[in-house]
Amino acid sequence: MNKIKAKITKKTSLISEVESKLNDQVKMEGVSSQFYLAAASWCEREGYENAANFLYGHSEEERMHMLKLIKYINASGGYALAPEIDGLKYEYESLREVFEDVLEHEIKVTNSINDLVDFSFKVKDYATFQFLQWYVAEQREEEELARRVIEIFDIIGEEGQGLWFIDKEIAKLKDQADSGELGAIDSAE
């Protein structure tokens, strides 16, 4: 019975180039998860408890994004590959640098998703194109959230007790993002 199943699952309409690009995105999401984990650990070591919790949560979220891609590739008859990850950053000069790196990283992820969506459309892989729409919307939220954290640095300032207040505000942003309050598009727009 297993041999029959194996032969059936090898049949796929998933184009090998799409499978390869999806696996590249798996790696991107894996890197994201580990990037957030490393940044969270730095924040925790430095005493930014709320920022650390925010980043630990994002690490897990990015891992779930990776698993969603893996399951899609395999369900489509492809073969998802667990990524090798190296080159992570472990030291930062400031809390602001952490979140500037977060925004820069999320923009890279957005560009990667956009390229993948574009490619899947061009090769008429409409199932993959449709599947990726969730990632398009998710990236919009991720970038908005990262920009909002940088705005908090600009509004509050880092002098005196500023970093303490910024850390508190990051906890509020996490709660808003978790409840869906942040990133909701106004229906009047």
Q: Give the pLDDT confidence of 137-188 residue by residue, as tens digits.
A: 999 999 999 999 999 999 999 898 999 999 999 998 877 776 767 654 443 3
pLDDT, tens digit, for every residue of 90-131? 999 999 999 999 999 999 999 999 999 999 999 999 999 999
Domain containing 24 — which CATH number? Answer: 1.20.1260.10
In a domain, 17, yes or no: yes
Total number of domains constituting the chain: 1
User: Which pLDDT belongs to residue 2?
Assistant: 53
In a domain, 182, yes or no: no
Question: Where in the sequence is the domain holding 81, given as residue range(s)?
Answer: 13-177
In a domain, 42, yes or no: yes
- What end-to-end distance do the CA atoms of the chain give, in Å? 55
Judge contact between 74 and 122, C-beta under 8 A. no
Confidence label for 189 from pLDDT (cuts 50, 70 and 90): very low
In a domain, 136, yes or no: yes
The CA distance from 141 to 125, in Å, is 25
How big is the chain, counted in residues? 189
Judge contact between 166 and 153, C-beta under 8 A. yes
